[in-house]
Amino acid sequence: MMHRNSSTDTLEAARAHARSQAGTATDAGITIPSTDAVDLPPDVDPATVIWDETVAVGGYASRRLPRDGVLRLSDAGGDASVAILVFRAEHPIERLNVADTVKVQWQAYLGAGALLLSDMGRVLMTIVVDTSERHDGMCGASTLATNAARYGDGTASGPSPGARELLALAAAKHGLERRDLPNPLTLFKGVRIGDDGSTTFEGATRTGVFVELRAEVDVLVVLANSPHPLDPRPTHTGTSVRCTAWHAARPDPDPFRDSTPERRRAFENTEHLLAGGAR
């Protein structure tokens, strides 16, 4: 005779149990908080929120965001290292090109006002707010091999997954393959290049920092939270990052569109696409 002593032994009980997990469910290092707990800027209506989750160290996330959606990445603990990729959602063969992002804007150290450019010279996202002011567009992401050498394991399912392994998993959820992954931009950890070409890692803990990025077209955002490849610590260490996105009104005039001739041209390329004049 079967004895019913579980909270999920009936359909009704299982459903009640599942619903009670809102705010605590986890998947591959991802924690999805209750929407009631969203800590938003005072000018953001909670009804406009379209994404809110916290990605633990060794976790990944991906989400499609509409044009004018604003994504805030918050590093409350101050030790996150977020590798981020951006694709044009309707045509993902067009994707973030970090080399062009740096080269076209004559700036290797990105901050507020910087554009994330595609390989077609168009703007995918704009950094509209940046309290971190420490990012890396030069060193790429950690891999299975680099993490295996440093931590003893770099697999996506292991205790110290490489960022590229996590990005591949996140992208696969949208039908993308490893060959579709360019080099990512890393947020919250920086690298300075010396006059002699040497690299200096900037990774000291800085709590309560965040970055806000505005989508200039419909985009697919893919990210992984894993230590920077130049992080010298012997353990796979970091803090969670919170991802919160909402619909926002576009400012008029846009303070970033004409901030430099190069940025104006990139916005013109994007506007041409949105007007139906380009694929």
In terms of C-beta density within 10 A (0-12 exposed, 13-18 middle, 19 or more buried), how is residue 186 classed?
A: buried
Assign 33 a pLDDT band (cuts: 50, 70, 90): very low
Contact residues for 212 (Cβ-Cβ < 8 A; gap 6+): 70, 71, 72, 73, 127, 128, 129, 130
Among 273, 252, 276, residue whose Cα is nearest residue 117: 273
* Residue 160 located in a structural domain: yes
Helix, strand, coil percentages, rounded to 5, for the chain:
20, 30, 50
Q: Supply the pLDDT for residue 20.
A: 64
Q: Supply the pLDDT for residue 17.
A: 62
Contact residues for 271 (Cβ-Cβ < 8 A; gap 6+): none
Q: What is the mean pLDDT of residues 139-153?
A: 95
Residue matched to tokens 């985009």: 219
Among 207, 191, 201, residue whose Cα is nearest residue 137: 191
Beta-ladder partners of 31: 26, 54
Share of the chain above pLDDT 90, in %: 80
Q: Answer whether residue 103 shows pLDDT above 50.
A: yes
* Three-class DSSP category at 81: coil
* Residue 32 located in a structural domain: no
Q: How many other C-beta atoms are found inside a 10 Å radius of the C-beta of residue 136? A: 29
* Residue 133 located in a structural domain: yes
Q: What is the mean pLDDT of residues 158-184?
A: 96
Q: What is the mean pLDDT of residues 95-107?
A: 96
Q: Answer whether residue 204 shows pLDDT above 90.
A: yes
* More confident call, 216 vs 42: 216
* Residue 143 located in a structural domain: yes
Q: Supply the pLDDT for residue 26.
A: 40
pLDDT in tens, 44-64: 889 999 999 999 999 999 999
Q: How many other C-beta atoms are found inside a 10 Å radius of the C-beta of residue 261? A: 8
Q: What is the mean pLDDT of residues 176-198?
A: 94
Domain count within the chain = 1
Q: Answer whether residue 186 shows pLDDT above 70.
A: yes
Domain, as residue range, for 162:
47-274
* Residue 7 located in a structural domain: no
pLDDT in tens, 245-262: 999 999 999 999 999 999
Among 171, 198, 185, 195, residue whose Cα is nearest residue 82: 185
Range of weakest confidence among 100-104, 182-186, 249-253: 249-253
Assign 223 a pLDDT band (cuts: 50, 70, 90): very high
Q: What is the mean pLDDT of residues 251-275?
A: 95
| Long-range pairs of 198-202 with CB within 8 A, sequence gap ≥ 24 | 199/138, 199/139, 199/230, 201/228, 201/230, 201/231, 201/232, 202/134
Q: What is the mean pLDDT of residues 135-149?
A: 95
Share of the chain above pLDDT 70, in %: 87
Prediction pTM value: 0.86
* Residue 216 located in a structural domain: yes
Q: What is the mean pLDDT of residues 188-193?
A: 94
Assign 13 a pLDDT band (cuts: 50, 70, 90): confident
* Residue 82 located in a structural domain: yes
Q: Supply the pLDDT for residue 182.
A: 95
Q: What's the chain's average pLDDT?
A: 89
Q: Supply the pLDDT for residue 12.
A: 72
* Residue 161 located in a structural domain: yes
